[in-house]
Every structure is written in C-alpha cells, then in structure tokens.
Amino acid sequence: MTAKQEDDDATMEAPPANDDADISFAEREDDDDREDAADVHVASSLDHSDLFSAVEESVISCRPLVDFFYHPNNNDDNSAAKLTTRQRRDVICSIVKSPKFNKTRARRLFSGLTPLLRKVVDEESYIPDQDDDGDVIVDANAASTLAVLYLRICAFLVDAYLDGLLKRQRKGTATSNNNNNKRVEVIDEVFEVAEMLHDLLFPLQNCGKEGMTTQSAIFSMCENYWHGNFEDKELFVTQLIPLLLVKSLEDTAQKNDVKRLCSIRDAIDLLDFECESITTLKNHLLRTVANPLFLQSTEGKKFITHLFQVDASLVVDLHKAIKVQLFEAKRSILNAYGEIYYNAWKQSAETTKEDEEEEQGGEIQTSIEENALQDMMYFQIHAANPKIVSSIRIVLDKFYVNKKSPDVESMLHRCYGPLLWRSLSATNARVRLQAAVVLSDTFPLRDPDAGQEWTEACVQKSVEALISLMSDEVAAVRVAGSNATAKILSEFWVAIPANDIRKLLNHIIAKHASDLTSSAVRATAIKTVTTLLEEDKTHAVLRSLLPSLGNLIHDKSEKVRLAVVEMLLFVKKIRGMKYYHIVDPQNLLSRLADEGRGRNNPTGPVAIGLSELLSNSFFPVGKNKTMSDIINRTLRLLTDNPGAAVTFYRNAGTQLGVNSISKLIAALMRCLCMLIVQDKKMNYEDISNLSIVMADDEIDSAKVPPNTALMATIAESIMILWGSIEADLKHEQNESAADILMEVFSGNVLTEVYSHFESKTVDGLEDVKLAECSRACVAILDCAGKMKEAEIEGLRAHVIGELAKATGMPPEKRTRMNFSPNMALLCEWGMTEDVAQCLSNSILNYFSLENLDGKSNLSKKRKLRGKKAAAKDELPQLDIETSLGILGNILKGSFPASLSARNSIIKSETACNAISTALQSARTAADTIIKSQQADESEVSITKIKHIGNAIECYGRLLIHKEAMRGEVPMRLSQEAKELLSWVTDNIIPSMMKSVAVEEENSLSKLDISAISGIGSPMTCDDPPRRKSNRRSARESDVSFLSSDQATSNTLPGASKHTSSGSAVSISSASSVLSTFAEWLSISGAESFLLIHISKWCQVLGATDNIKTRESLLGSLFHVALRSLKDDRDATVFKELLLHLKDVDPGTKEKEIIMESLSIITSLRDEQIATQALATIIYVTRSIIVQAGESDSAEFLDMVGPGMKEVLLSILNNKRSSLLLAKCLLNEPKVSSVRECLVKEIRANSPMSDALEAVVRDLSGEKVVTDGESEEETEVEEMPPIIPEQAEAAKISALLSQPEAGVVVA
C-alpha cells in the first residue's frame, strides 16, 4: 500500500463506536437543541443539491457518495473544506433533518440510494476478503470497504431523516390535540432502504472492524425506528434484539449496552416463546439473570423484571436459573434478586387489576406466585443447608418489609398458608426452627379481606405456635422461638391481647432466663428483653420484671453475661429507668473484678461493657466535678474493690481521652507518693529524699490510711493506664499529655518509690505483703521503661546494684526476690546484649564440665569482682537459680515489660545466640551424666537435675519464640528444634530403656523424683486455653507453657538429696522436651517429624515397671496426644500411647491422669474429636484382642491389659462418653466379637439413659418402632465402618472420623 493510499485510508476511517451511532434514542432526544446549535456553528455552503448530485453519481459505484462524505474535493468552498470528517457528516445529516427536506426530496434521495444498495446486498460485495488464516484483509480502496462505508452512509441518512420526521411530528402534536400514540407514517422509499439495512445486521457481524462500526450505525437506526413509533416498527427488532442481547452478555460489555437493550425490552413481547426456533434466544435471555452487569445496574434489573411479564412458561425457567445462583451469591446480588422478584410480582398484580378480562396477566401472576415465590418459601422452611435458607430469606425480605400492604399480605397468606402451620409442628427440628423465623417475618399471616374475627383467630394461632416453639425440647428451636417472639411483640405490641403478652413474657423471663440446659437460650432471653425495651410502650410492663434477670450478670457463660451488660447499657439510656435497680452496684463491681481473674478476659467485651457502664463511678465528669473529686472517688474504689478498679483501668482507653488519662495518672502518682510519705513517717524513716510536690487542694488522702495492698494497686493502675495510651503519646497532638507525665515522673521520684517497695521484699514480710510489694516493683519498673534513662536519676545504678547483691544473699532470702523486671528494664534501656551476656555466662559456668560435682565456682574473689563491676555499672555474674528464673520469666512474658525484653533479645542475633549456646550446655551436661553413670558409683543432686530440666525447657521455649518472630504462618520446626527431638529419641529414651533392662531392681526403682515432675507439668498449667480461630498465629507464642509457680520467683525449691543414678536426668530432660513441644502443637499444629519422634517415646511406658518413671512421662504424653487430637484431628500419638498402655499396671496417680485426660476428650463440644478418640480406642482394643487371640476363659476387660482396662472403664463409667462409644460401635461390622463384647460391657458398667438404651437396642438388633413412625424411618443410616476388622489392623494409623449426619428435609 502506498503512502497516498494510507492517507486515504486514515481519512476514510469511520467514527469510533462510541460516537452518535452508539448514543441511545433517549440521549439523542435530549441533545436535539445542542445538535442544532452545532449545525449552525459548522454551517457551510453544502446543501441538498450537493447531496443529490453525489447520490445520483453513485448509480454504478459507491465511490462518489463515499468521497462526498469523507473526501471533500478542492472545488468545495473554504468553509466546507475545513470541516472535519465528523463535522461534515453532521452537516450532511442536518440537511436531511431540516424541515425543508420534504417528502419529494426524501423520495428523490432514497430512491437514488436504493438501486446501488440492492446491488450491494444481492452481490454481497460488502463481505471483505480473508487471508489463509481467516483474518479480514483491510484495504481502504477495496470494493468491500467502499460497500461497507456506503451501507453506513445509508444508515446515517435514514437515521437523520427519521430524527427530522419525528421532530416535526412532535411539534405538530404539541400544537394540536392529536393522539400521541398514533403511528408515524414513513414513505416507502425510506422503509425499503431501512429494511434492507436491518436485514444486514447478522451478515455484518463477520465483516471486521468496519463492518462492526456499520452494524452499530444500523443499530442506532433500528432503535430510532422503534422508539419513534413509526409504522411497521416491529419489523426492525427481529435481528436487533438478539444482537443487542449477545453484545450485552459479552465480557467486554458496558452498562450502555444493557441500557440500550433495556430501552427496547417491550419488543420482546412480540416473540413467540412456544416456537421451537426461539430456544437459542431464550437461553441467552436466561443468561441475563446470572450476569453481574445486569444485576448491578438499574436498567438490567428492569430488563429481567420485564422478562417475568413476557410469558408464563418463561417464569419457570427464569426462576430455575436464579435458584442455582443463590448458594454462592453475595448479599448485593441477593438483594438484586429480591428487588426483581418483588417488582415482577407487583407489575403482574397491577396488570391483573387493570385488565381483569385478559387471562394473560392473571396467568403470569399465578405463575410467579406458585412456581417462583412459593418454591422459595418452601425451601426457606425445609432446606437442610442454613446458607440456602439465609440466602432465600434475603431475597424474600422485600416482601416481608412491605407485608403491611394489603396485596402483599394477601399473597403471603396464599403462599405460606399451606406450608407454615404444618411446618411449625414438624418432626424435624431444623424445619421447626426455620418455620419460627418465617412466622416472625410474616406475622400476622392473615387474609386482609377476611374480617376482624379471622384476624383475631390468626393472632391467637400464632401466639400458641410461639408458646409451643419456646417449649420445644431442642434448644436451638427455643432460641428461634424467643427471637420470633421478640420481633413480633416489638412490632405488634398493641395488636396482641394483654393476656397473651403475659404468657409470652412468662416463658421468656421465668423459663428461658433460667434454662439450665442451654446458655444460648438464656442469652437469647436477655436479648429478647433488650429488643422489647427499644419500644417505649413496653417499659411499663417490663420495669417490674427486669430485676429478676439481674442474677444472670454472674452467669458462667460469657455470652449470657455480655447480653446482660448490653441490656444494662441500653437501660442506662432510657429515661425513667435505672440500671442499678436491675443489678446493684456491688454486684456490678464484683463482676467487673471477676472479669479480670482466672480464665476470663480482662479486656473482653464484658469487661469493656461494664467499664462503660461504670465510667461515671470511676471517673465522674461534669462542670462541678474537680480533680479532687475524681481522686477521692478513685481512692475509695481502689480501697473497696481494687480488682474492679484495675479491670476498669485496663479498658480506660475505650472510655476516656488521652489528656484525661494523663491527668489521672499524674494524680494517682502524687497520691501514691503521699501514702509512701505517710508510711515512712509511721515507721520513722527518712523522707528527705522523696522530692515530690503535692497539691493539697487536689488530694485529700487523710481518710485513706496507707497500706501495702492499696499502694500496690495504685502502682499497678498507673502502669495499666500508661500502657493504654503509650502509643497515643507518640503523636504530636498529645505532647501536652506527655508533658504532664514527665513533670511528675522525671527526677528521682521513681527511684525513691521503687526503693521503698524493694526494701520491704527482704524484710521478712508475710507472703501476702511480699506479693503486693513485688507487684508494685514490677509496675514501677514498667513505668520507668516507658521513659528515657536520662530522665530518671539513679535508677539504673540502683537496679544493677541490687543484681550484684543477689549472689551474696542467702538462698531463702534470694528466693523472695524477683529480678526479672530489673533485667527487662535494662533491655528497654538498650542493654540487651549486656543482659544476655550476663545470663549466658552464669548458665555456662554452672554447666561446665568441672562443675558437675555440684560445687559452686562463685568464690569470694568473684563475688568481690561482682561488687566492683556493680560500682562500674557493669552487670555481675549471677547464680544458676537466679539466671534461669529471670530467663524463664522473660521468655514467658509474665509482665508487660518482659514481652518487650523477650522481643529485643530474639531480635538481637548476638544476644539470642549467646543465650542459646548457654542453654545447650545443659544438654551436654545431661549427656555427660548419662554416659558416666554407673550402678552405684555416681551421685547427682536433685537440684542439678531440676536445673538441667529447666534449662532444656527454656531452650525449647526460646526456639518457639524465635520461630514465631519470623512471622511465617504456619510455623515450621527449625533445624535446632528437630535436633532437640532427635537428641531425646537417640540419647535419652535409649538410656531410660537401658536402665530398665540392666537390672531388675535398679536404683531407679528406689528413686523419689516427685520434685522433678513439677517442671512445667502440662497437666497443671494455669495458662488460658488456645482459641482455635487464632491458635496458629505467631502472637500465640506470648503465652508460656511453664507452670505458673515460676512466674513470681526466680528459683525453684532446692533439695540437697542425692541419688545414685543418672536416669533421673533422662526423665527430667524428656519431660521438659515434652512440655515444650506440647505447646508447639497448640501454636503451630502437628508436623509428622514431631509426631513420629514423640510416638517412639511411648515405648518407655511399657518397658518399665517403675511407677515414678511412668507418672513423670504419662501426663506429658497425654498432653501432647490431646493437643494433637484437638487442634489437628491427628490420633497418631494417642494411638501409640494406648498401645503401650497394654502391659502397664497403673497406680493410683496414673489412674487419675488417665481419667482426667479421657474426661477432657469426652467433654469437648466438638463431638467429631471425641468420636475420633473413641474410634481410636476401639481400634486399639481390637488390635490387642487380635494379637492376643480369643480365650473363652478370660474376661474381655482382662484380655485388653490392665492399662487399657482402665481406659475402657473410664469411658464406660461416663454417661456422655458411653453414649458416644455406643454410636461409634454402630459403624463397626455387625459380625464382630469386639462389638459384641463392648455392648455387653456397656450394659454392665454404663449409666443407662433413654438415648443409650435406644442405641444399645440397635446394636443388639432389637428394632423398636415409636408412635407415628414406620419401620423404615427407624432404620439406622448405613455408614462406612471407621476401621475394618482385620488381623493387620495394628498397622493402620489413620482413623476415619464419624461423618456428620445431614439434616432431613421434612
């Protein structure tokens, strides 16, 4: 192609698809005036004669007319030559639109276009050439290109003529009273051209880019023909509808495509849906209900709504297409479906009313109600999947919201009447529950035309149904009944008789609120009352009933307590009602204090709600409230109920501003200093160094005598309050709040306050006061860590000096001291590596080879060096008890500052490596003791064994936190952790086995290692349980697995007793590693490497007859097994543990461990876990029986071994576990001796209940048919067996858990 041809091609290029050709008729109509103005702006000398000349010259070729439109020649005047292609086209079209362009001129123009147009159509000269690959060849001078452009020009001219004709018609209609619905007449020549162009819509689909642009121009012409109400307009949509529909369903479709299709939706009424040829178009129409572009646009929803009005048979197909989308649809899509269904039904109902003589309207309404709405209503009640039920309810919500409309109410009665009342008493609980929700949504389900008596009867029937639901035996149904009652009473309180209201409230407040079987029922009862309180008209009745609910503030279930707190917060906003008339202040304070104790969450929703409720009591606000009033109120509450005050301060950040909290902290600190001054005066101590300025007008503490507990609580409150705003104080807008704190805490204030409490810890105080002083010291040092070292005078030197004194203290005095906060403070002040070096040196010195005899290497000379070091602000070397105690508390995170210290140690590679290397020396020491052990020649102190165990456990814990700091989820065992596991498997376990095999009466049997078994025992750990939702988060590693008795002391109780065997070291090491990796399971989940190693350790149980050895390991092994079962559904360790219990004759303590562990399993809420555990027990039982062989003389429980006998008895003696065991046996092969024997043992040993008796009958083959049921209904659903009974069953390690039973649709 030459350069000249390329220029011509560029000049002839058609306008883009988003030009006038793509503008809808409605938009075009609004732009008429602007187009006229544009025409005037680009006016030139072109007129109709030029157009006629070009048309008449195009009798044989398309070139003259194309050139006239796109290639102005040099003979044109200057104004015409300067026009762009778009402007020139508009000028030419404006000539045709002009009122001067009469019928004569129109006939001349379009009769001139017709011959060549017919020739192009007949010869198909518009179809371009294609290359070998089937691609269209683009050639601007090709005959096909000229033909396509000619077709486009014809479409423009027809479109322009129709626009002008329509505009003249409108003006004529405005000045006359003619009928606006009268069809506009079109001359035959225009109709003929338009018809030929319309017939080319499909062929142009495959004519390349130029063909698509021309097709778009013809689209616009056909739309104009339809919207202009011209004669025979129906002939111009037969191809327009399918093409616009396909275009709107493409991936590249735009909202404008949907808008254009919606504008001609009335044309779909012309289609015959009974004809078989319409199948393809029908399928495309059904695709629109799943297209997001249609569902997210107003025009798209209008289009789908209109499809429901087209044909009664199409309603069924549309509903089926929508129904399959409901399960995975988002809420916005479900709302769109609801709007479509509602508008479709509403339009069909209006059509029926307007023209009752026509049957079609009534047929469509009936089809929508019976085939669509009633079908969804049926599934809302009977569907087994709750997600489907929820989705359908969202779709139908539009009808429920408008149920007060007579038409909607009548429809709900027609559709739900045959379904609802029968479902409320269905056998299936799921059906009753879902019917209760429908009852609340549709109440009152009545025929509005039936009269008042019928309405009263429907209300009475509904009340009886609600009472029946709230008395249901299934807790979930009772909850649904209570929720339905709340919704109905709050909306129709006036319409329901007072006697019925009394009955309903009696069930909620008197029965549901005291339901002992379900906390959900109790919580829902409180929420129901809260819902009713939202209506003012209910207050008079409920005011006297609310105090009876006050005791639920102490309910054992958190959700019940939270419901009560939310109710009290709502009552607080009601004028004329007081929350403290429902629950008195003393009980509220007690509850707030309890929320900060034990396993409760001090910053949970209950504590936050109570803090908000009592905020005015702890921090009164108002114009007349001064800081003196706040301090006096705070001191009184701290004295009367310190636990409640501390919990409140933990949540103060959610109630008070930063400045308010800073002022409160400053006031509390002054108050604390005042109490210390008074305490020192009473003890005749020097107070000259306590340089504190106290404002007498703000603090009046004369009425509050100083005591250690109060001062410790104040110090802890200061720490908690400061921690709640620590992050906010870093912002520039809170500089004034930070200045308030610095003014009070800078200088030597904290040093003097800390010294006061520290001195009391060594004065021989009783344990209670000692704990209070220790608590105060932790709080003061934590506050110091939030400040810079230079802002506090003398505290660093004082802290290091106390550490230097620790080595020279007597053991009993050193035990009373807690140096962990001291080290944590130094870490906060940038001495992390110094702290790590101090601890590592102390540990390395203790576990050095020359120190294995148990003698201390800390000579007087070293102690003197320690004092010199302290004088130089260098950290001294500490004894092993103090070092391990400090390290244990820091790793555990016993107090807030220790968390920061732990993070700084792990982040510092130097510090972390130093401590890790030092702790690994305990393994070396253990190996040395084990290798050097001789039967009666080596002696190792119990104290050293305990230190080895604690050091190994600290090492494992350090590995967990180190891995957690990486931030990878899920966590993976590091190489160091794997080496620790392999060390136990390869060194420790063989040593323990060897000590058993060497000598029948070895020294291990005479060893009392009860003092060792307390090292981080997992069975007595007081740490809160992991929540499954976030148990694999790295944040979970903040909770230590060490027992809580090490949290407040640096040392373990010492013992001078010696033993003549190193096997105790093996037991201590194995127990420590088990404790460590039991915690790993709760944080990160099971790994095959870990479970394989721990499973091997179970062999020790069956290899030794020593009870002390087994007691030391059994608890830890059960802990690991339970963690693996609960968190990962892995029964590998549990199975191996049970298999090795076969030959164990358990003692009293071992029986307690077995019973406690199995009770934990069987009490789990998740029955799948309990079922899996019981299936494992059945499998192990079968394996033992198969291995031992059948014996007619031996009892069944004796054949499984003494250890497994104790396991089975623990299961059989429990009501819930025996029922679950019986259900598991249903999955066993019917021809099974194990199944038969276990059924006999259940009959003999288990407490029989009705449910257990029924299952046992099924197991025994006794079929019982209850009233109203057939034999087919009572058959047990056949399920695959959990474990096949085979001789090689012992090789199977994977257990299949019991599958959930599906909900039966009633």
pLDDT at 867 over 80: no
How close are the terminal C-alpha atoms of the chain, in Å?
76
For the ranges 529-533, 626-630, 815-819, the one whose mean pLDDT is highest:
529-533
pLDDT band per the 50, 70, 90 thresholds, residue 1035? very low
What is the spatial distance between Cα 34 and Cα 30, in angstroms, rounded to a whole number? 8
> What is residue 579's predicted lDDT score, i.e. its pLDDT?
92
Q: Assign 686 to helix, strand or coil.
A: coil
Write down the residue that tokens 């017919």 correspond to.
Answer: 118
pLDDT at 1288: 33
Higher pLDDT, 766 or 1093: 1093
| Helix (H), strand (E) counts: the chain | 62, 2
Closest-CA residue to 1080 (of 1171, 980, 1148, 1201):
980
- Average pLDDT over every residue of 1159-1181: 84
Based on C-alpha coordinates, what's the Rg of the chain?
A: 44
pLDDT at 812 over 90: no
Question: Do the Cβ atoms of 692 and 670 come closer than 8 Å?
Answer: yes
pLDDT at 553 over 90: yes
838-845: average pLDDT: 90
Please tell me the distance from the alpha carbon of residue 325 to that of residue 304, in angstroms, as a whole number.
Answer: 15
Q: Quick one: pLDDT at residue 1108?
A: 65
Task: Determine the Cα–Cα distance for residues 578 and 309; give it in Å rounded to an integer.
Answer: 57
Structure confidence by residue, pLDDT tens digits, 663-710? 888 888 888 888 888 888 777 776 665 545 454 444 444 456 778 888
User: In the predicted model, is pLDDT for residue 353 greater than 80?
Assistant: no
Backbone conformation region of residue 1305, classed left if phi is above 0, alpha if psi is from -120 to 50, else beta: beta
Per-residue pLDDT, 590: 92
- How high is the pLDDT of residue 1263? 45
267-285 pLDDT tens trace:
888 888 888 778 888 899 9
Alpha carbon separation from 107 to 119, 150, 155, 188, 192 (Å, rounded): 19, 18, 16, 8, 11
The pLDDT of residue 854 is above 60: no
Give 978-1031 pLDDT, tens digit per residue.
888 888 888 887 877 766 555 434 433 333 333 333 333 322 333 333 333 333
Q: Transcribe 517-560 into DSSP letters.
A: S-HHHHHHHHHHHHHHHTSGGGHHHHTTTGGGGGGGGG-SSHHH
| Tens digits of residue pLDDT in 1056-1087 | 344 445 677 877 887 788 777 777 766 666 67
Separation CA 75–CA 742 (nearest Å): 91
The mean per-residue pLDDT over the stretch 1139-1147 comes to 79
Q: Give me the mean pLDDT over the 459-483 stretch.
A: 92
Mean pLDDT (the chain) is 77
Q: Decide if pLDDT at 174 tops 60.
A: no
| 22-26, 280-284, 1259-1263: least confident range | 22-26
Query: Cα–chain-centroid distance for residue 908?
Result: 35
Q: Kindly tell me if the per-residue pLDDT of 1212 is higher than 50.
A: yes
Q: Which of 397-401, 632-636, 789-793 has the lowest mean pLDDT?
A: 632-636
Query: Mean pLDDT lowest for which of 213-217, 380-384, 906-910, 1027-1031?
Result: 1027-1031
Residue 1059 three-state SS: strand
Residue 1012, pLDDT score: 35
* pLDDT above 80: residue 938: no
Q: Are 780 and 757 in contact (CB under 8 A)?
A: yes
Mean pLDDT, to the nearest integer, of 739-763? 83
Q: What is the pLDDT of residue 631?
A: 79
**φ, ψ for residue 130, nearest 5 deg:** -130, 150
719-742 as b/e, with b when 16 or more CB fall inside 10 Å?
Answer: bbbbbbbeebbeeeebeebbebbe
The pLDDT of residue 134 is above 70: no
Among residues 402, 430, 400, which one has the least CA distance to residue 416? 400
pLDDT tens digits, residue range 181-195? 677 888 888 888 888
Which one has a higher pLDDT value, 175 or 151? 151
What integer pLDDT is reported at residue 113 of this predicted model?
A: 86
Amino acid in the structure at residue 1257: R
- Using the CB atoms, write b or e for 581-609: b if 16+ within 10 Å: ebbeeeebbbbbbbbbeeebebeeebbbb
Mean pLDDT for the stretch of residues 200-210: 82
- pLDDT of residue 399 exceeding 90: yes
Pinpoint the alpha helices (H) of 175-239: 188-199, 208-227
C-alpha–C-alpha distance, residues 925 and 913, integer Å: 19
Would the pTM of this model clear 0.75, i.e. be above it?
A: no
